[in-house]
A and B are shown apart, each in its own frame.
Chain A
Amino acid sequence: MPDFAPVIGLEVHVQLNTATKMFCACPNRFGDPPNTNVCPVCLGLPGALPVPNAAAIEAAVKAALYLNCSVSSFSKFDRKNYFYPDLPKAYQISQYDLPIGTRGSLEIEVSGTTRRIGITRIHLEEDAGKLVHAPGASLVDLNRAGTPLLEIVSAPEIFSPEEAYAYLSSLRLLMLYLGISNCNMEEGSLRCDANISLRPAGSSTLGTKVEIKNLNSFKGVQKALAFEIKRQSSLLATGTPIVQETRLYDAATDKTLSMRSKEEAHDYRYFPDPDLVPMTFSPEYLARLRDNLPETPQHRAQRFVSAFGLSQYDATVLTSDPALASYFEDTIAAGASPKLAANWIANNLLSALHQTSTSIGACKIRPPQLAALINLVETGTLSSTSAKTVVFPAVFEKGIDPNAVVAEMGLAQVSDTTQIDQWVVDAIRANPDVLDSLRKGKVKAVAKLVGSVMQMSRGKANAALVSQRIAAILKDMHGIEISG
């Protein structure tokens, strides 16, 4: 069987998180009762006119610049004409020949290798409404109609399902860093369609393209593409030509299915929307936006390594979400040591967030509190065990001051040498057999003394100090050397 190599292109729709819709002042909000965030404009009522949202345009230009696109000085909106019940005007306001951005790129990393994937175009458009299928009828909800979307089309330069996954992850992270979208696939604020064709390995001519829709997770994209590669390879191996078609991904079976619906001829009859005037972007405006773009995730990770001495791994984990990275930096700013902060966040905090399905934004323990907790441990006021098992969970749950928890629960360690020495002397006196054992070289017998001190102190003695004082007293008062 000859080897076939896939060529993949991805078309991603990113829903912008503006306060209002693309062309009207209705709230751009998810989850309200049907047809309540609607007005004459987004209902497509006769006579209503669109006026573009300045914030959406700016977000689109920023995204184009962040993805290394060229942004031309002139752009415009066009109408894409087709009939569908979720499209009340029977045309979508989109962009055709003069999109906001063209010829950009994005870096991905797959198994240690970094590649640049080209971005063909980025344009701004309005979303359609939603159809709910009921028995014998469909219901149309236009709350989503007219919400702003950024369509980002990759070049056909993705060569494996893993690269597709990496491309989507990278794109999502960049959008999160820009802060222009929630990028929540479940809520549909990030959607993806894939194109895939196969060609004999080494060949440069493209094969017949199949489009896959209904992809609702990054894993789903990867699985659907993997399935298509298998399906198309086995067809090609037997000399069966590939049919150019649209297929739907079925997440339950990880298969793609032919849409088999009548292929209605599509002729979108794009033309410039006469209700909207062109957009122009001056070099000064573009320079100002470019200068104010956020640091990229890669840069931020590098900075974490060089400025804070983190491992590459920790730096990558902490920059995998802009909110998490900022949380980390805020914790340091509140006085925590960078390495300890990185450990606490990457281990304890992330697993607690994960277990409770909480986002970093909704997390009750704020950076100053985490910094305070870290400092309590570092100064010896709090044992690391109590910190992890008692204080952190309480602060995580209630968002209260760690010092208050320590005080309220009486968790402060006893680090007073006089008090500890008294306990040690008492412990030796109460366990005369220990001295005999030690003299015979059974060093492990010390544990009994430690246990006795901890019991006397009800666990509050600073364990490190206890060990240290036991060794000192055994040596000074009994001539027994146990360390070294």
Chain B
Amino acid sequence: METVREWLNALRTGECSARDAVTTALERIRTVDPQLQAVIAIDPERALAQADTIDRQRAGGEDPGPLAGLPIGIKDVICEKDVECTCASQILKGYRPPYDATVITMLRRAGAIPVARLNMDEFAMGSSTDHSAFAITRNPWDTNRIPGGSSGGSAAAVAARMLPCALGSDTGGSIRQPAALCGVTGLKPTYGRVSRYGLVAYASSLDQIGPLALTVEDIALLLPHLAGHDPHDATSANLPVPNYPAALFQDLRGVRLGVPKEYFIAGLDPAVETAVRSALHLFARNGADCVEISLPHTEYAIATYYIIATAEASSNLARYDGIHYGWRAPESTTLDEVYSHTRRRGFGEEVIRRIILGTYVLSSGYYDAYYLKALKVRTLIRQDFTRAFDTVDAIVTPTSPTPAFALGEKLNDPLQMYLSDIFTVSVNLAGIPGLSVPCGFSPDGLPIGLQILAKPFDEMMLLRVGHAWQQLTDFHLRRPPVCATSFSRPTTHA
């Protein structure tokens, strides 16, 4: 019982009650998480109470929803009513939101049970999950390596089979990159597809919530319960939600796949290149039409991203000032001290760095040269994709230029860390959807991810290509060493 589909089957057949499901997930967390530190907090009482409600409903002949009893992990950046939400930051210590994020409301309505708050880079700023104020999450494939980030806790928890699925958030690759580095499947939906209401903002014009799971099929099962118009989010698209699981019944024949030449560059790890090239061969052999395309502004994406993201972040994170909620630096006696001490000591260094950078690019005299310039280059990057999708149905690239790097390796070299987002940030700038699926392993046994991109709101195409890929391969089913033996049976309680 590892994939969402397996969990749901067990729950539907009655092989496993919702209480059993929650208990099983909590036990796996207790067993595995001490080695990985993917989990920030659990609230067993709350999860079990929801499970019992579902079991009662089922016993009473009520339909408790299509995901009834499914345990899910929540990145600690998505609000659940009265549950501490820290964004892995000291400054939000003790903050309990008085409301649920829209995705939480939707998941609960479908019967899913949030069981754990998952670790991340502080305020989703990072690609390693070693920028957390509370714990360093480790990669299940090699505990001396980072799991990727910022949704590193979500990816590690799913990879280690603690939970069948998790929510992450993706501003510049924060779902796809950790999914790739941990060998799981992760989707960043089109900007506007999933409500951001209740997602603590890092960069509002780039942020999206998305699911991580073991298989594309699982993603297709979850997505209908996340996607859709939300009147609480003015940037939410008012479009119908397609029948995503239907994408699983289509094959690759006639699909035109674009391969951007700018993504095969110096710095690309040879193992990654080999894995991606062989994926392309396999696609071609199975009926897809692979063509080289050009996304000429790719090399400007990182610079554009770091200007726009930090500008928005400097404003979004200004509200953490020790007054209305969260942590206040002790012994601050004047208002000015409350502000400046709380913010100096409550934020980690990477967050401070980005706030200062963002403040700079918006400040008087620099706005046009940096922020406005970046908004214009963003237009060029979008146009690259629009043009590409005139001729192809999907674009296939590596997700990350390298497999997981060592813990702390890029901690003191922010620019090097930023550059590792090279293949993922353009997608957020363009607002298009992106999926990462496992596509191989490095000689060290580290997972490698393949990124699939499509037109805005064409998540169906991603699921189609991704699922077809997983029908041809088994990388997504391989287990990391921390859980070498499978968790096959649920824990049942008399």
- Interchain CB contact (< 8 A) of A269 among B98, B233, B362: B362
Interface size class of B (residues with CB under 8 A): 35 or more
Q: Is there contact, CB below 8 Å, between B315 and A83?
A: no
A89 interface neighbour in B97, B314, B319, Cβ under 8 Å: B319
Cβ–Cβ < 8 Å partners of B364 in chain A = 267, 269
Q: How far is the CB of A85 from chain B (nearest CB, A)?
A: 5
B425 at the interface (CB under 8 A from A): no
Q: A44-B324, A46-B92, A85-B335 are in contact. Are A271 and B204 (CB under 8 A)?
A: no
Question: Roughly how many angstroms separate A262 CA and B78 CA in the complex, as a whole number?
Answer: 40
Contact A47 B78 (CB under 8 A): yes
Chain B positions 213 through 236: 1 when the CB is less than 8 Å from some CB of chain A, otherwise 0: 000000000000000000111110
User: Is A271's CB under 8 angstroms from B367's CB?
Assistant: yes
In the complex, whether B473 has a CB less than 8 A from a CB of chain A is: no
- Chain B residue numbers with a CB within 8 Å of A451 are none
Closest to B358 in A: A269
Knowing A40-B97, A46-B95, A277-B235 are in contact, say whether A79-B315 is a contact too (CB < 8 A).
Answer: yes
A206 within 8 A of B: no
Which of A44, A45, A267, A270 neighbours the largest number of chain B CB atoms within 10 Å of its CB?
A45
Is the pair A271, B362 in contact by a Cβ cutoff of 8 Å?
Answer: yes
Docked-complex contact B234 and A52, CB < 8 angstroms: yes
B453 at the interface (CB under 8 A from A): no
User: Per-residue CB proximity of A188-207 to B under 8 Å, as 1/0?
Assistant: 00000000000000000000
- B275-319 CB mask vs A (1 if < 8 Å, else 0) is 000000000000000000000000000000000000110110011
**Cβ A48 vs Cβ B318 within 8 A:** no
Option from B87, B204, B325 in Cβ contact (under 8 Å) with A275: B204
B199-A47 in contact (CB<8A): yes
| Assembled-state Cα–Cα distance A85/B323 (Å) | 7
Tell which of A48, A79, A276 touches B197, judged by Cβ atoms closer than 8 Å: A48
Assess A49 versus B196: contact at CB under 8 Å? Given A140-B323, A267-B363, A269-B315: yes
In chain A, positions 226-278 with a C-beta closer than 8 Å to chain B are 267, 269-271, 274-277
The yes or no answer to B201 lying at the interface (CB within 8 A) is yes
Chain A stretch 172-220: residues in CB contact (< 8 A) with chain B: none
B359 interface contact, C-beta 8 A: yes
Question: Beta-carbon contacts of A423-458 to B below 8 Å, as 1s and 0s?
Answer: 000000000000000000000000000000000000
Binary contact track B93-119/A, C-beta < 8 Å → 1, others 0: 001011101000000000000000000
In contact, B232 and A47 (Cβ under 8 angstroms): no
Distance A306 CA – B325 CA, assembled complex (angstroms): 62
Q: How large is the interface on A (under 10, 10 to 19, 20 to 34, 35 or more residues)?
A: 20 to 34
User: Is the pair A89, B318 in contact by a Cβ cutoff of 8 Å?
Assistant: yes
Is B200 within 8 A of A46, CB to CB?
yes
B344 to chain A, nearest CB (A): 14
List which A337-389 residues lie within 8 A (CB) of chain B. Answer: none
A52 to B78, CA, bound (A): 23
Are B324 and A88 in contact, CB atoms less than 8 angstroms apart? yes
On chain B, the residues within 8 Å of A140 by CB distance are 323-324
Q: Is the CB of B315 within 8 A of A91?
A: yes
Cα of A421 to Cα of B87 in the assembled complex, Å: 99
Contact across chains for A90 and B318 when beta carbons are under 8 A apart: yes
Q: A88-B324, A89-B318, A267-B363 are in contact. Are A49 and B79 (CB under 8 A)?
A: no
Q: Is A302 an interface residue (CB 8 A)?
A: no
Residues from chain B with a CB closer than 8 A to the CB of A393 are: none
- What are 27 A-to-B residue pairs whose CB atoms are below 8 Å? A45-B325, A46-B92, A46-B97, A46-B200, A46-B320, A46-B325, A47-B78, A47-B79, A47-B97, A47-B196, A47-B201, A48-B197, A49-B196, A49-B233, A51-B234, A88-B319, A88-B324, A90-B321, A91-B315, A91-B318, A140-B323, A140-B324, A267-B364, A269-B359, A271-B367, A275-B201, A275-B235
B residues lining the A interface (CB < 8 Å): 78-79, 85, 87, 92, 95, 97-99, 101, 196-201, 203-205, 231-235, 311-312, 314-315, 318-321, 323-325, 335, 339, 359, 362-364, 367, 371
